[in-house]
Amino acid sequence: MSDTVEKFRREQYKVVVGLAHPERVEGLMRIASVFARRQKGRIVAVSVVLVPDDGDLDHGAEYADPEALQQSEQMVRGAEEFGAELGIAVDPIVEFAHDIATGIANVCDRVDANMILLGFSPPETPAEGGSDVPARITERVASMTGPSLAIVSLPTDEEPARLLIPVTASLSDAVIRDLVKIVSLFGGAQLTFIGLVPAGLTHEEFEVRAANLRKKVEGVDFEEISCVDLDARDASHCLFGAEARQMAGASHEAAFILRTNV
């Protein structure tokens, strides 16, 4: 690869898509393609293969479960082929890691990701080995200045897609507005914005941080707001309480939860 091409690919907008379930590949790729196409970018399709804690990641294939490795290879290869059908460049990556969240985060660091798109499993039916992935990825993203994060629950029957988007200090207002525009392009969805602030703040500090984050979404035009301005300490009484706790993790709390249809 020439230096010019390598530089171009490095500077392109990149959407990292985490793939864990074969049946979700096409749905996630369709959504990711809208983000990538709008930004004239590319998709990085990642499937993490778990390696025992005492296993050498540089020789991950020797330690990984053969069936899991085969499935991951098939998923990223399928994502690459589906991307070709959609006219979007896809970089397929099988990443060896000791846990899923670290594997995805490592790829994001390595490729300098702009957007992370993950599939979401309800808290009562988490993916094997991935029950804390939303929380751990959210914690990592909250401390980064680069990528924004969207966690999507794909449509079932007549239900629309649902995207959960952590609003952190590093997430710009422009990105939020763009997310809303992009979502509307693929047929609409229910968006849930969860404002995240560090855990352990005093009440006054919590209120100040929460107010600053809330300003990021107040200026966005929504067709309908179903649920807004809920303090994290009351989140368990909200429809999204369990999801908020799963996403926020140990280091952050939900400052507000806003649900809207786009």
Nearest in space to 48 (alpha carbons), one of 87, 100, 10, 7: 100
200 has a pLDDT exceeding 50: yes
149 has a pLDDT exceeding 90: no
How confident is the model over 21-47, as pLDDT tens digits?
Answer: 898 898 889 888 888 887 889 999 999
Predicted pLDDT of residue 223: 58
Largest CA distance in the chain: 56
Predicted pLDDT of residue 121: 60
Q: How far is it, in rounded angstroms, from Cα 85 to Cα 100?
A: 28
Q: Assign 226 a pLDDT band (cuts: 50, 70, 90).
A: very low
Fold of 1-119: Rossmann fold (3.40.50)
Spell out a b/e string for 78-95, using b for 16 or more CB atoms within 10 Å of the CB, else e: bbbebbeebebebbbbbb
Predicted pLDDT of residue 152: 76
- Looking at per-residue pLDDT, the higher value among 131 and 3 belongs to 3
Task: Calculate the average pLDDT of the chain.
Answer: 78
Q: How far is it, in rounded angstroms, from Cα 145 to Cα 44?
A: 19
Q: Assign 122 a pLDDT band (cuts: 50, 70, 90).
A: low
Is residue 73 classed exposed, middle or buried when 0-12, 13-18 and 19+ CB atoms within 10 A define those classes?
A: middle
**Which structure tokens are listed for 243?**
């999801």
Q: How far is it, in rounded angstroms, from Cα 204 to Cα 214?
A: 15
Q: Which residues contact 212 (CB under 8 A, 6 or more apart)?
A: 169
Task: Give the predicted TM-score (pTM) of the model.
Answer: 0.76
Mean pLDDT of 187-206: 81
Cα dihedral across residues 226, 185, 27, 34: positive or negative:
negative
Strand pairing report for 14-18 and 42-50: parallel
Domain coordinates in residue numbering, the chain: 1-119, 149-262
Q: How far is it, in rounded angstroms, from Cα 147 to Cα 166?
A: 11
Q: Angle at which helices 100-111 and 133-142 pack, to 10 degrees?
A: 30
The pLDDT > 70 percentage for the chain reads: 71
Number of neighbours of residue 208 by Cβ within 10 angstroms: 13
- How many Å is the Cα radius of gyration of the chain? 18
How confident is the model over 51-86, as pLDDT tens digits?
Answer: 999 999 999 999 999 999 999 999 999 999 999 999
163 has a pLDDT exceeding 90: no
**Single-letter amino acid, residue 114:** N
Judge contact between 101 and 50, C-beta under 8 A: no
How confident is the model over 169-183, as pLDDT tens digits?
Answer: 777 777 777 777 776
Mean pLDDT of 181-192: 70
